[in-house]
Each structure stands twice: as structure tokens, then as C-alpha cells.
Amino acid sequence: MSAEVFDDRRCILGEGPLWHPEREQLFWFDIMRQQLLSRDASGPLKWRFDEPVAAAGWVDAETLLIASASALWRFNLSDGSKTQICGLEQDNPVTRSNDGRADPWGGFWIGTMGRNAEHGAGAIYRFYQGRLQKLFAQITISNAICFAPDRSCAYFTDTSTQQVMRVALDRQGWPTGDPTVFLDLSDDGLNPDGAVVDKAGAVWIAQWGAARVAAYSDAGEFLRAVEVPGVHTTCPAFGGAEFRTLYVTSARQGLSAEVAHDQSPHGQTFAVDGVAEGLPEPRVIL
């Protein structure tokens, strides 16, 4: 189960992989180049935006919800047109979107952060039934947004704390009670980035700087790690046949030119078959 290169384009900051279950197609972002990327039978695909874009959910076969630095957008894959759904910290030029994922109720959680990782500049929001509501404030680097298969809880992290949090959810998907620490990776010096939950409830977490994605049980026990060639892994997603392929984005950001040269794997997008069985991402209901 070795990692293979799925796409050899070297992103500055690859992020937000999304397997579209109806199109059977992977989408992801290069945040710093302001690009949405994909592949199909014809080869590599690219759409460019006028500000950073970071995360997406699928609405239907032709439509994505896309989080940019200042808004959520309805994006048409056929003609590249977009319509603003709502603003996202539009009055704050310091921040941009970072990590996001659809929830099982058809909502969409999206995190923000300072463009230079300013301390406490970001937040985590939920868009649901036409309304964007702030859930958690004072977030430095929002990441690891994902949801338990039984809808009991959500996970998220402020990467700067090296802790992954868990918060209980009510029957409509809103947090209830205070978040608690699910994983504390500080003793191991690990930096949690993006995450996804598999069918069995294990949380797969990309670990920035560690060249791997690690799986933990819903009790927080380490299960296994999957190594990838890119040192700065950023986010995993399950897709492919029966959702048994783990796709992993990575970044060149923060690496020296000697390390992140044009022949290096850093920033590429990888695929690992047969590590676990994932679940289809929920549809975003607009």
C-alpha cells in the first residue's frame, strides 16, 4: 500500500481534496495560486479565481460550493461561472478561508485564519439553511473539520495548539456543550492539519511536516500511519472504487528551494489504495 503520485503538479499549498461521488472525480485547491484543480479522462484541469480558494462541497453534478478568502460561492463546473452565496469575513482583509467540509445535515463548516497565521485571527463557521453562523472564535490555523459517521460529534483543530478537539452535535448538527480534547499531539511534536473520518469512525489526520497521514480510533488511540513522499501533508479524502483510495494533498510552502525543487514530490497530490473504506461526502443543500 505505497503512495503513488495522482497528480504531479506541485502546489504551493495544496488543500481541500473533495471526491465528488456523482462525477467520480477528485477536486482540490492550490490556495496560494488561487486555483481549483482536478483531473478527468482528458487530463489535468484548472480553474483560476481572483482571490485564494481553499475548500469545497458538492451541490449537484455540475455545481460546487467553494469557499474563497471572502465569500462562499456557487460554482458551475461546466462554464466556470460563480454566484456569491454569502460573505465570509469580507470586512477583514487579514483573513482567508482554510479548511472546510460538508456536514451530514447538508450544511458546510468552514474555517478561517490569518493570511500570515496571525494569532487568534480566524474562526470556524457553519453555513446551514441559508445562514452563516460563527461557532468557534480565536482560531489561529483552522483545520481537521470532519464528522463522526453516527452524527454524534464533529472534530476540528487549531493546528497551532497541536490538539484535535471534539464537540458533541445535536439533532440538527449544531454544537452542544464545550469542545473537549480528542488528541493531544504536542508530546510527539506533531502538527494536525486536514482530516477525514472513515466508515468505521477512525479519524485520518494529515500531519504537517511529518510526511504522513495517521489514523486514530474514536477513542483517540493511534491505529496506523500511511507515509507519503510530500513532507507537508495537508488533507486526506477518501474516493475511488468503494471509497477505498485515500487521496492526500501536500504543500511546498515553508520548504527551502533546495528541498522543494522542481523534481521534488513536495506539493504533489498522492493516492494510496486499500488503507480503509471511506464514506461519500454529503451533499451541500443550498
What are the residue numbers of the active site?
193
The span from the CA of 91 to the CA of 257, in Å, is: 35
Task: Find out whether 20 and 280 touch, Cβ atoms under 8 Å.
Answer: no
Q: What is the DSSP string of 166-188?
A: EEEB-TTS-B-S--EEEEE-TTT
Task: Find out whether 4 and 272 touch, Cβ atoms under 8 Å.
Answer: yes
Instruction: Give the helix ranges, DSSP H, for the chain.
Output: none
At 210, phi and psi to the nearest 5?
A: -110, 0
Question: How crowded is residue 13: how many other Cβ atoms within 10 Å of its Cβ?
Answer: 21
Question: How crowded is residue 68: how many other Cβ atoms within 10 Å of its Cβ?
Answer: 23
Within 13 Å and on the Cβ side, how many CA atoms surround 226? 25
